[in-house]
Structure 1
Amino acid sequence: MNVIIVFPKIENGQNIKRILMQNGYEVNAVCTTGAQVLQLANSLSGGIVVCGYRFADMMYEELHDYLPPQFEMLLVASATVCDSREREDILCLRMPLQVHELIQTMNMMSGEVIRRKKKTKKIPKERTKEEKQLLKDAKELLMGRNNMTEEEAHRYLQKRSMENGTGLVETAQMVLSLMKV
């Protein structure tokens, strides 16, 4: 789980980093500006940003708006700031910070980030016209040579793909290259 901490005072960030690391979290970086966070976040595949509400270059809402969508934000601020925030997609812990609340919240948020990652992996990417044509050609070849229906040819390609640990398109390419001899 990627964790980025950002507070205007580096000592505050270092204290939270120490707490998180003692509880099994690996912290990627402790930053003091929103720009530093954004530069790092754009190179990571998602995670949690733990932050204060104001930095030298922006406010927490701006940072949230610029973060990649696979990042969650945990705001650590005064009760006044937490109560006045208008964004429901930003979780907030009130100061003074309770260690057990921080850890429970991080556990909940990391579970959500992991669930979201798994969900996006399940969405198949759209195939290109060339890939669709390769699959169609491989199925037609199997149907013609082996007297299969289109569904049987497709299942055959899927089964070979899983057995070989290759993608469906790559399997179709192999079938075409081996059977067109």
Structure 2
Amino acid sequence: MGSIIIALPRQETARKIKEILLRHGFGDTIAVSTAAAALQEIGRLSHGIVISGTKLPDMDYTDLLDCLPRYFDLLLLDTTQNVSHRRQPGLVAVTMPVKAYEFIDTVNMMLQNLDRQVVKRKDNKPKRTEKEENYIRNAKYVLMERNHMTEEEAFRYIQKSSMDTGRNMVETAQMILTLIYNEI
């Protein structure tokens, strides 16, 4: 099941929401007070939801929503007047105060939807050949040696470069190897 990040500036409110979630079996729950901290946590996770209000100390919810990766959705806690105006992909809004059972049902629905998307993505993902795996492994090794990265940092660098350029990881690894060997 996906992870839950509670991003609220008031730690007392975040603590209460976390307690409700934990009581209902949502164990992978993290509470943070800024959007930057939420995004940092997201970097470690595969998929999940971020529970937030409209304003965080460092970012508005619309900016946070724009920064979320593909397999993360935002559950916005807002007033009754504003919820009807919040229509964006990847956003679910609930009115405050919210009944606990409605809140839990919404969180459960969102996580189940994301879980299905992740499973579908894994099922459709073509398997790499040994040659393709070697390109990625060699590119990681070169990045680790030349740039003093850990294996995880090198992998994340290749992965992020791949997403930024719209290429798959094998093409990105080949590009890194080509650039480095052309320098020699």
Partner of 2:126: 125
| Residues 13-50 of structure 1, C-alpha deviations (whole Å, 9 max, x = no match) | 11110111111101431111100000010111111111
Partner of 1:76: 77
1:36 aligns with 2:37: yes
Partner of 1:149: none
Partner of 1:91: 92
1:19 aligns with 2:14: no
Distance 1:101 1:92 in 2: 12
2:79, 2:96 within 8 Å by CA — same for their partners in 1?
yes
Report matched runs for 1:162-181 at 5 Å: none
1:20, 1:27 within 8 Å by CA — same for their partners in 2?
no
**Partner SS state of residue 44, structure 2:** coil
Distance 1:119 1:44 in 2: 17
1:104 aligns with 2:105: yes
Distance 2:128 2:105 in 1: 41
The aligned length equals: 131
- 2:73 maps to a residue whose letter is E
| Residues 127-180 of structure 1, C-alpha deviations (whole Å, 9 max, x = no match) | 46946xxxxxxxxxxxxxxxxxxxxxxxxxxxxxxxxxxxxxxxxxxxxxxxxx
Higher-Rg member (1/2): 1
- 2:92 maps to a residue whose letter is L
- 1:71 maps to a residue whose letter is F
1:75, 1:93 within 8 Å by CA — same for their partners in 2?
yes
1:17, 1:27 within 8 Å by CA — same for their partners in 2?
no
Partner of 2:51: 50
Distance 1:59 1:50 in 2: 13
- TM-score, normalisation: structure 2: 0.66
Distance 2:57 2:131 in 1: 50
Q: Quote how far apart the aligned CAs of 1:124 are.
A: 2.9
**Partner SS state of residue 85, structure 1:** coil
Unaligned ranges ≥5, structure 2 = 133-184
| Residues 29-81 of structure 1, C-alpha deviations (whole Å, 9 max, x = no match) | 11111000000101111111111110011111111111111111111111122
Unaligned ranges ≥5, structure 1 = 132-181
1:51, 1:74 within 8 Å by CA — same for their partners in 2?
yes
Q: What is the percentage of aligned positions where both structures have the same residue?
A: 34
